[in-house]
Amino acid sequence: MATERLPVRQLRELFRQKFELSFAHRDIGRSLRISASSVSQAVSRARAAGVTTWAEVQAVTDTELEEKLYGAQTRLSGLSLPDFAKVHVELHRPGVTLQLVHLEYLETTPNGYRYTTFCNYYRAWKRKQNPVMRQVHEGGDKLFVDYSGKKAHIVDPQTGEVIDVEIFVAVLGASNYLYAEATLTQQVPDWIASHVRCFEALGGVPRAVVPDQLKSGVTISNRYEPGVQRSYEEMAQHYGTVIFPARPARPRDKSKVEVGVLIMQRWVLACLRNQTFFSLGELNERIRELCDAVNDKTMRTYGESRLSLFERLDKPALGPLPQTRFSHGEWKVVKVSIDYHVEYAHHYYSVPHALLGEKLDVRATSTTIEIFRKSERVASHARSHLRGRHTTCTEHMPTSHQKHLDWSPSRFVSWAEKIGVATAALVSAILLERRHPEQGYRSCLGILRLSGRYGEQRLEAACVRAALAGGRSYRHIDSILKHGLDRLANEAEPTLVSRTHENVRGRDYYH
Round to whole Å and give the CA distance between 327 and 304.
Answer: 37
- Give the per-residue pLDDT at 225: 45
Helix %, strand %, coil % of the chain (to 5):
45, 15, 40
Contacts of residue 9, defined as CB under 8 A and 6 or more positions apart, other chains included, come to: 374, 375
DSSP E strands in 248-346: the ranges are 330-335, 341-344
Q: Three-state DSSP class for 47?
A: helix
Round to whole Å and give the CA distance between 193 and 181.
Answer: 11
- Give the per-residue pLDDT at 346: 85
Task: Name which CATH class applies to 142-317.
Answer: alpha beta
- CA angle (439 as vertex; 388, 386 as ends), nearest 5: 15
- Give the per-residue pLDDT at 289: 93
Reported as half-sphere exposure (CB side, CA atoms, 13 A), residue 38 has a value of 18
Residue 423 host element (H or E): helix 421-433
- Give the per-residue pLDDT at 78: 47
Reported as half-sphere exposure (CB side, CA atoms, 13 A), residue 50 has a value of 5
pLDDT mean for each 10 residues of the chain (511 residues): 72 88 89 88 88 87 82 48 78 77 86 86 76 61 87 89 91 88 88 91 91 64 55 87 71 66 86 89 92 89 84 89 84 82 86 86 81 85 84 76 63 85 88 67 82 88 87 86 78 45 55 52
What are the two backbone dihedrals, phi and then psi, of residue 400, each rounded to the nearest 5 degrees? -65, -35
Is residue 467 a contact partner of residue 422, using CB atoms and an 8 Å limit? yes
Amino acid at 508: D
Residue extents of the structural domains in the chain: 8-70, 84-127, 142-317, 330-397, 407-510
Is residue 267 a contact partner of residue 292, using CB atoms and an 8 Å limit? no
- Give the per-residue pLDDT at 75: 36
- Give the per-residue pLDDT at 220: 46
- Give the per-residue pLDDT at 508: 59
- Give the per-residue pLDDT at 133: 45
- CA angle (362 as vertex; 357, 364 as ends), nearest 5: 150
- Give the per-residue pLDDT at 248: 58
The secondary structure of 176-204, three-state, reads: CCEEEEEECCCCHHHHHHHHHHHHHHHCC
Round to whole Å and give the CA distance between 340 and 396.
Answer: 8
Work out the number of other CB atoms within 10 angstroms of the CB of residue 451: 21
